[in-house]
Structure 1
């Protein structure tokens, strides 16, 4: 049972309740202009349901990190959400001070208030156990103003900060619909009845991908692991394949070769890992783009080749669940998008339940015009990685404690 021990909006009465909702409105920005509102859109169903059921809503979120250019106020987010909801979303440039508390107290059913960037508070930038976070000024000052806490921010679930784990220690805490969808979809990965399962792993974060592989091997989750990108190059080297001087030097500069012993151990553990048979390469001196077999590479690897795409696509066709994380090639260059594009197409045409992680893959899905075939696109970056790597997600643990403490689940 993926939701076992946690409560959802179905388990609480919302009529006339004042609800604190942790959302993740963290968006790419230019100055104070939002460049993408997809994360805000993702929370709209939860917010609308709370409004329809008679609650008054206070939203709390972060934006950027201290010292970074995107560390800005949430005022533009309030304006964007107002348009998406079709009603005014109030904004207060305060988080827990007198003005914020005054506005929270005066809020009426059917109204929405967005507090300012919670990371403006130093204590929100510190990870600590839930019991300690429940003692922070943020939680002590605000919790008494609410009847219920809703966490709808899966993308922050791997963090143990006050707004994520502190409030559910002192308030009844439940999952919002976005959080619920994420947990239900990702839990399919670990359901033994849902098989065969094929993982397609790529992108540049090789140590992270190795952690995922280690976990899915230990839990006997994957039937096949199809490697692309730098990860595939690592496993080819681990198998004793010479990728040519240029690629070997690149891997050495990136620190990838230091991971070869770990990759070999995973292979010896019986990991069902597939590697490419060909790549699309670039001759950096002449600019020539070629398809080359892995045993005779003269150019620099930029994408998986057509034979690999065909081989991987055949394996994907047989899957019941396909999990894809990271691009297969250097997607920023249109010449090297084909591998990623064709693997995404194969997954979406397979009839399998598909789970995608990463902005690159979302862009490809939209480019293909096949969004209606997607099973699930995860909003989590670090949280998705932690989940796939088998790590405990503090947000979910806190919601389980809260559900038990306040008698929300039997």
Structure 2
């Protein structure tokens, strides 16, 4: 059992799972190239431990997942996904070109112990495109048709847990349900953020998603979760401007063009309320093709990264942190010349003895392979789910699991 906030969520250890028929919700939604082929299979690989454990415990396993949205280029069938999973698992994953029709139901009914099936893209079912409360989704045809065929439901799809669709929230209300190992790992890691004993907590927030990051800072401040919030990227420029610092004409034009200046009152309100927000003391800028380090009060040129003094100060804050959360880079890391700030804070976090949570995306690239067998490092698979979690919003799939029918 794992606890997050006021939710108690069962894991694979809490259900009788031996010789059972299990419906496993995974998230194999992957980048797809122009020819309809999988570009990156890391999400499929992540579910291997959960699938292997269920098979080793002599269960038959039926996986259900989505890929893209109707009308988009990446909305494809899951046949190749089954082939990739077969390779990773070293066993046959049978692809069923159906979701809940007679053919799929017959195949499921006739499964033998240890067999593994992947149903077709669940978003081919119109109901899966509509969000609603668990009580409503439990009454959908998808849930009604499939649930009688299974003994248990396992949700291993943390990255989609911010959605309230039938395959994610409907089944727990009618079946014994639990979190898979990917979901368990995510929830266990993220629960450290809200554990009072795990302090001090330092959040390193950067990147270009300013409104999203502002919402996170508002929640962290309201709930008094963060001891320090170290800013980089555009969010740092917003808070610097909110403090009355003139970042120069070129940067102000960028902020205005992106609609960021309209957020100044919200940023100023946070500062006035005592939010533990730190802004850079210097920046790395590009001016007339040249790269320079400049103090925050004397910016000339386009801001591209935090400066070396900021990197040192931020690193000193991180050094004593019990939990460090990194979401969004300090600079334009697509350009190797402006990765130093992000590399510095990542290095400080990894060398620290505390727990490190990396919020996916760009910051994962800064890890540069330093991820193997590190029990104090967690790389979140959740994009939108992690954002909503940090913003203090409830995740429907977790709420549904806590309501599991026993």
Name the TM-score, length of structure 2 as normaliser: 0.96
Contact 1:32 1:76 in 2 (8 A): no
Cα deviation code 1:55-104 (max 9, x no counterpart): 10000011112222111111111111001000010001111112111111
Task: Give the drift of 1:294.
Answer: 1.2
The equivalent of 1:21 in structure 2 is 24
Task: Give the drift of 1:208.
Answer: 0.9
| Alignment counterpart, residue 365 of structure 2, candidates 363, 381, 386 | 363
| Alignment counterpart, residue 182 of structure 2, candidates 143, 167, 178 | 178
Contact 2:371 2:377 in 1 (8 A): no
How many residues are paired up? 401
Correspondences of 1:377-388 after superposition (within 5 Å): 377-388=379-390
Partner secondary structure for residue 88 of structure 2: helix
Contact 2:202 2:226 in 1 (8 A): yes
Cα deviation code 1:28-69 (max 9, x no counterpart): 121222111111111111111101111100000111122221
The equivalent of 2:339 in structure 1 is 337
Correspondences of 1:130-141 after superposition (within 5 Å): 130-141=134-145
Contact 1:345 1:368 in 2 (8 A): no
- The 1-side partners of 2:396 and 2:382 are apart by 14
- The 2-side partners of 1:384 and 1:170 are apart by 27
Contact 1:281 1:289 in 2 (8 A): yes
Kindly tell me: are residues 105 and 18 of structure 1, through their superposed partners in 2, closer, same or farther at Cα, counting changes over 3 Å? same
Task: Give the drift of 1:338.
Answer: 1.5
Contact 1:278 1:293 in 2 (8 A): yes
The equivalent of 1:12 in structure 2 is 15
Cα deviation code 1:257-297 (max 9, x no counterpart): 000000011111110110001111122xx321221111111
The equivalent of 2:257 in structure 1 is 253
- The 1-side partners of 2:18 and 2:176 are apart by 15
Task: Give the drift of 1:325.
Answer: 0.5
Correspondences of 1:338-353 after superposition (within 5 Å): 338-353=340-355
The equivalent of 1:319 in structure 2 is 321
Contact 2:230 2:278 in 1 (8 A): yes
- The 2-side partners of 1:371 and 1:303 are apart by 28
The equivalent of 1:293 in structure 2 is 295
Partner secondary structure for residue 107 of structure 2: helix
Correspondences of 1:1-400 after superposition (within 5 Å): 2=3, 5-30=8-33, 31-283=35-287, 286-365=288-367, 367=368, 369-373=370-374, 374-400=376-402
Cα deviation code 1:89-130 (max 9, x no counterpart): 000111111211111111111010001111111211111111
Task: Give the drift of 1:2.
Answer: 2.2
Contact 1:216 1:389 in 2 (8 A): yes
- The 2-side partners of 1:12 and 1:371 are apart by 30
Partner secondary structure for residue 295 of structure 1: helix
Name the TM-score, length of structure 1 as normaliser: 0.96
- The 1-side partners of 2:173 and 2:369 are apart by 44
Contact 2:230 2:279 in 1 (8 A): yes
Gaps of 5+ in 2: none
Report the aligned-residue RMSD.
1.2
Gaps of 5+ in 1: none
With 2-11 and 34-43 compared, the bigger mean Cα shift is at: 2-11
